[in-house]
Structure 1
Amino acid sequence: MAEDDLNARRSAPETAAGATTIQMGGRRLTIEEVAAIASGRAGVALNGDAAWRAHIERGAAFLRERLAAGATVYGVNTGYGDACVVTVPPELVEALPLQLTRYHGCGMGRLLEPAETRAVIAARLNSLAYGYSGVRVVLLERLADLINFDVLPRIPAEGSVGASGDLTPLSYVAAALVGERDVLFGARVRPAAGVWAELGRTALQLAPKEGLALMNGTAVMTGLACLAFVRAAQLTRLAARLTALSTVALDGRAAHFDALIFEVKPHAGQAQAAAWIRDDLAGRGDTAGQRLQDRYSIRCAPHVIGVAQDALSWVRRDIENELNSANDNPLIDADGERVLHGGNFYGGHIAFAMDSLKTAVANLADLMDRQFALIVDDKFNNGLPRNLSGASAERAPISHGFKAVQIAASAWTAEALKLTMPASVFSRSTEAHNQDKVSMGTIAARDCLRVLELTEQVAAAHTLAAVQAARLRLSVTPGASLTAPLAEFVEAVAARSRFVDEDRPLERDLRALTQCIAEGALVAPCGPAGATSEAGR
């Protein structure tokens, strides 16, 4: 690397062109800001306010004073967990944090994706920036460097029971800061020490509580929960749009979404879902020849989608409270001159939120799978071809259109539904019965992400089928038309996947569309749960 290039890299973090900078410290962080950091659309900057920085440093200074006075502080001059009864002699206090990072290096399973890793680092940085963890500003600066220079610890997904926080996965963040283990940097897996040297940084030497502060918290489950929330919000909006498109494809009734129906059963999310569908069907009139009542997967769609939409409101509250909390142990109250031993590392709120959200999302998968089953079946789809085949009359006898895609979507739905078993009720007593009631929050968050992945696959399959069905409806029903929002949606999907007039493998189309859905590229984000934005509509 040329010297000029190296100097530029040392001084200018690698953030995407046009990326914003999000302040850390002295303010509440939002889910959407974590998502922006995770996607690389935003970097971070520590609060430049002198009073905030002084508050951070007072915590570290007070901890040093307590140690100098001979006080006993858990995890600083004692062993960890059940070994809190073991006194660490003064000459080993400085070595203790590094020991913690090393013996927790036993994670297994898949490695977190880059976006997930950035979300985890952002969550940990924001928690420590509250100033109750006894860490120095330099540690926060190095966490910010991980994000801004895109130095990504290789974090195994498995190994946390969610209390005492995400110890094992977060040990990989701590190890990266001290120059140990591997990181992903510049699309290559590199030893952490070499990357810090290349960036002109010295590997961090952890102060007495800093290993514990980095690891003893809920950052992994919380970072993953932020990403899960955004994807769930996108799916609720997409499910509403697909309901509207399926209504057109089935020649169904718009009257099922009349506003009065939802005014007299006033669940806000349900009313929002109905409003989205109603907007997408605006101007569509019902005729005497239509079936009096469409089947439940159409008529009751707002009631299903509304559960997810309403859940997002309290899920947001709990995720953002966890995100904006000091969640390690012990807490250092420098201003009150106290060391507080407690249990803020317990991830119960995230566990319950993720267990609940994955159930709501799996119900969206089930809804879309049932709508798909209706539109593909010529016994129920009101005159569309069997399996939505677009083949000519001559080729129709050997054409099967979306038959296999519907089978696959049913398999993905079943797997999503199977994974709704709550993780939080599977607490295990661990670590010599010191950690005898644990949250399983990180497992719940990983389960939720897997349910989302499966549901996005179902949504991709249903999207392709619903667009095919709508285009067929326009050709077989005189006077059939699409509203502007639906026509725009059909055109956007058609640009990614051409009309199925002859059977062909659809795997590539499905994978590409699934990625679009996960990234929110197919429908505009909805904004905060319960709020209606023009972009979302």
Structure 2
Amino acid sequence: MTLAVHLEPSHLELARDPLHVELPAQVRERVARCHEFVLDVSTSGRSIYGVTTGFGPMVEFEGRADGAGQSDNTILHHIVGHGELLPPAVARAAVLARLFSLGQGRSGVSEQVMDSLTAMLDTAFAPAVPRLGSVGASGDLQPLAYVAHALRGNGNAFYRNQLMPAGEALTRAGLAKLVLDGRDALALVNGVSVTAAVLGLAVAQAVRARRTAELLSALMTDVLGCGTEFTSVGLLAAFGHPDVAETGASIRSWLAGSTPSGNRPLQEPYSIRCTPQLIGAAGTSVRHAGDVVRRDLNGVSDNPLFFPETGEVVHGGNFFGQPAAFAADQLNVALVQLGNLAERQLDLLVDPHRTNGLPPMLSPEPGRHHAIQGVQLSTTATVAAMRRAATPASVQSLPTNLHNQDVVPFGTQAALTALDQSKLLRYLHAGLAVGLRQAVHVGARPPQAPGLAAVFETLAEVVPPIVEDRPLDTTLAAVADVLDDLVSEVEGER
């Protein structure tokens, strides 16, 4: 990967493994030019936040005279995070996002910092970053401080997903300790790169979730022999929402070659009939979140910004993660509604009164064996957990920092919740897929559409029919991976 390219949400997923990032000459030139400018203005007598001053409300006081000491203070007073650690893949994605912001040449960071971040990404090293501590206002100060802390050999880190002291992880990865001076430390922490990375990862999974919902809705329609009038081109065009029409087209494409059984009601329940409207609307929210996070990933989040070409040092609020906070909350709600749909579709599937006589819980021997019964219970619990987490974070503003941060967006928490929801939705979709596979085993028709028949064969290879009750937890995890792979292939063709 080259730093000159446009960073996409899906690129963030590449950072879970060692990733080589090239710094083109033009990137190095603008970073070096800005760094020299910062060194010049730092000794010019101008007051520059975080360079000549203290931090936050301490801006009215002078900072430490030496850059190394100022860097120490920047990092150390933020090492107070707590809670579970971010997964290594998420922490590494945040480093990639921060690298792209710093590479814009507006932060005054030194080239050695850029080289240190790229070197880290090229290994299996990941900083250990606690989940709680950021309000997403003056950037992700605390989580990014933990990134710098670990790269300096302090605290803890992961190497090949194993947690250990950061110094040991650096040694195993063959990395030198990061040395910070001047504005390096503040440039590392004073941006929303954790929020952007987490939201980007959530968006990447949400794109797959939308396609999975379309696929499973089509498979359910075919297996039950439902009519397909609800996907009519004219009907959906009249509704006036492009993403709804796109979902209808996707479901129609999956259903190509299938014919209704003629045994279903004139109008299906909404969990079938309204799938284009529901999934399409969710797709609109996913697309909006994607647009927002692309701007964050390819913009500059820091304060102040430096413009050597005009000699300006501009103080402002480019570390304020409100756009991502709103987008993450909207995405969160969309993911919950997709979860509601999957749960209702599974409920329909296990109910003999709505499936033309398939046995209850899709059991081959009701009473003696229970087949999907446990899956449905877990699905219900999962949906309840998703709903409880759907409270928006972006409106929970609390003043802090001696009222320097008197209004805050909580974008980091909003993004983390959206990522959590995307992972829970994978489980719900897996449960529905297992139910559809079992429905065919106990009497539903095999899918007639060639594309869906191929999908069903893939699922059947992973999920043997439930003849006798057995644990299904590892099966569900495997099916979630299969569904991601199937829809990623389809998305790649679009």
> Given the two structures, how large is their TM-score scaled by the length of structure 2?
0.95
Residue 120 in 1 paired to residue 90 in 2? no
CA contact (8 A) 1:327 1:345 kept: yes
CA distance in 2, matches of 1:42, 1:298: 42
Secondary structure (helix, strand or coil) at the match of 2:20 reads: strand
Indicate which of 371, 379, 382 corresponds to 1:401: 371
Indicate which of 183, 193, 196 corresponds to 1:209: 183
The alpha-carbon distance between structure 1 residues 525 and 83, as it changes in their structure 2 partners (threshold 3 A), is farther
CA distance in 1, matches of 2:482, 2:83: 26
CA contact (8 A) 1:233 1:525 kept: no
- Offset at residue 340 of structure 1 (A): 0.8
CA distance in 1, matches of 2:68, 2:181: 7
Instruction: Give the gaps of 5 or more residues in structure 2.
Output: none
Indicate which of 35, 44, 48 corresponds to 1:69: 44
State the partner residue of 2:402. Answer: 432
The alpha-carbon distance between structure 1 residues 381 and 165, as it changes in their structure 2 partners (threshold 3 A), is same
The alpha-carbon distance between structure 1 residues 526 and 310, as it changes in their structure 2 partners (threshold 3 A), is farther
CA distance in 2, matches of 1:525, 1:320: 22
State the partner residue of 1:244. Answer: 218
CA distance in 1, matches of 2:261, 2:470: 36
State the partner residue of 2:241. Answer: 267
Secondary structure (helix, strand or coil) at the match of 1:415 reads: helix
CA contact (8 A) 2:97 2:197 kept: yes
RMSD across aligned positions (CA)? 1.9
State the partner residue of 1:45. Answer: 22
Residue 423 in 1 paired to residue 393 in 2? yes
Give the letter for the 2:418 counterpart.
Answer: C
CA distance in 2, matches of 1:244, 1:201: 50
Instruction: Give the gaps of 5 or more residues in structure 1.
Output: 1-21, 528-532
State the partner residue of 1:175. Answer: 149
Indicate which of 33, 36, 59 corresponds to 2:34: 59
Deviation per CA, 1:304-323, whole angstroms, max 9, x where unpaired? 10012122222211100000
- Offset at residue 259 of structure 1 (A): 1.6
CA distance in 1, matches of 2:173, 2:276: 52
Give the letter for the 1:39 counterpart.
Answer: R
CA distance in 1, matches of 2:142, 2:461: 45
Secondary structure (helix, strand or coil) at the match of 2:400 reads: coil
Indicate which of 298, 303, 309 corresponds to 1:329: 303
- Offset at residue 46 of structure 1 (A): 1.1
Give the letter for the 1:404 counterpart.
Answer: G
CA distance in 1, matches of 2:364, 2:209: 28
Secondary structure (helix, strand or coil) at the match of 1:413 reads: helix
> Given the two structures, how large is their TM-score scaled by the length of structure 1?
0.88
CA contact (8 A) 1:245 1:470 kept: no
Deviation per CA, 1:331-365, whole angstroms, max 9, x where unpaired? 11111111111110000111111100111111011
CA contact (8 A) 1:77 1:93 kept: no
Secondary structure (helix, strand or coil) at the match of 2:488 reads: coil
- Offset at residue 133 of structure 1 (A): 0.1
Deviation per CA, 1:104-132, whole angstroms, max 9, x where unpaired? 11111111112111110000000000000
Return 150-159 or 184-193, whichever deviates more.
Answer: 184-193
Secondary structure (helix, strand or coil) at the match of 1:382 reads: coil
State the partner residue of 1:367. Answer: 341
Secondary structure (helix, strand or coil) at the match of 2:97 reads: helix
State the partner residue of 2:77. Answer: 103
CA distance in 2, matches of 1:102, 1:228: 30
Return 152-161 or 399-408, whichever deviates more.
Answer: 399-408
CA contact (8 A) 2:462 2:479 kept: yes
Indicate which of 276, 284, 308 corresponds to 1:302: 276
- Offset at residue 194 of structure 1 (A): 4.5
Give the letter for the 1:411 counterpart.
Answer: A
CA distance in 1, matches of 2:83, 2:479: 27
Secondary structure (helix, strand or coil) at the match of 1:183 reads: strand
Secondary structure (helix, strand or coil) at the match of 1:162 reads: coil
Percent of counterpart pairs with the same letter?
A: 33
- Offset at residue 173 of structure 1 (A): 1.1
CA distance in 1, matches of 2:472, 2:164: 37
CA contact (8 A) 1:328 1:344 kept: yes
- Offset at residue 237 of structure 1 (A): 0.7
- Offset at residue 43 of structure 1 (A): 2.5
State the partner residue of 1:85. Answer: 60
CA contact (8 A) 1:248 1:470 kept: no
State the partner residue of 2:255. Answer: 281
Indicate which of 364, 375, 382 corresponds to 1:412: 382
Deviation per CA, 1:427-483, whole angstroms, max 9, x where unpaired? 110111101111100100111112112211111111100121134345xx6xx6522
The alpha-carbon distance between structure 1 residues 195 and 247, as it changes in their structure 2 partners (threshold 3 A), is closer
CA contact (8 A) 2:71 2:180 kept: yes
The alpha-carbon distance between structure 1 residues 368 and 83, as it changes in their structure 2 partners (threshold 3 A), is same
- Offset at residue 512 of structure 1 (A): 2.7
Residue 29 in 1 paired to residue 4 in 2? no
CA distance in 2, matches of 1:513, 1:287: 28
CA contact (8 A) 2:71 2:184 kept: yes
Indicate which of 437, 447, 450 corresponds to 1:467: 437
Deviation per CA, 1:245-303, whole angstroms, max 9, x where unpaired? 11123321122212221121231211121112111211222355431111111000111
Secondary structure (helix, strand or coil) at the match of 1:94 reads: helix
Return 212-221 or 401-410, whichever deviates more.
Answer: 401-410
Aligned ranges for residues 512-531 of structure 1 at < 5 Å?
512-517=478-483, 520-524=484-488, 527=491
Secondary structure (helix, strand or coil) at the match of 1:109 reads: strand
CA distance in 2, matches of 1:97, 1:192: 19
Deviation per CA, 1:37-82, whole angstroms, max 9, x where unpaired? x2327421111x2x43222111111111112222211111111000
**Aligned length, in residue pairs:** 494
Secondary structure (helix, strand or coil) at the match of 1:44 reads: coil
Deviation per CA, 1:8-50, whole angstroms, max 9, x where unpaired? xxxxxxxxxxxxxx111x44212222222x2327421111x2x
Residue 499 in 1 paired to residue 478 in 2? no
Give the letter for the 1:382 counterpart.
Answer: N
Give the letter for the 2:17 counterpart.
Answer: G
CA distance in 2, matches of 1:316, 1:384: 41
CA distance in 2, matches of 1:63, 1:507: 55
Secondary structure (helix, strand or coil) at the match of 1:43 reads: coil
State the partner residue of 1:155. Answer: 129
Deviation per CA, 1:371-408, whole angstroms, max 9, x where unpaired? 111110001111211111123xxxx4422221221121
CA distance in 1, matches of 2:340, 2:279: 11
Residue 482 in 1 paired to residue 448 in 2? yes
CA distance in 2, matches of 1:175, 1:320: 27
CA contact (8 A) 2:199 2:328 kept: yes
The alpha-carbon distance between structure 1 residues 89 and 368, as it changes in their structure 2 partners (threshold 3 A), is closer
CA distance in 2, matches of 1:241, 1:198: 44
Secondary structure (helix, strand or coil) at the match of 2:487 reads: coil
Give the letter for the 2:373 counterpart.
Answer: K
The alpha-carbon distance between structure 1 residues 339 and 506, as it changes in their structure 2 partners (threshold 3 A), is same
CA distance in 2, matches of 1:325, 1:212: 17
Give the letter for the 2:195 counterpart.
Answer: M
Give the letter for the 1:70 counterpart.
Answer: G
Return 459-468 or 248-257, whichever deviates more.
Answer: 248-257
CA contact (8 A) 2:159 2:173 kept: no
State the partner residue of 1:376. Answer: 350
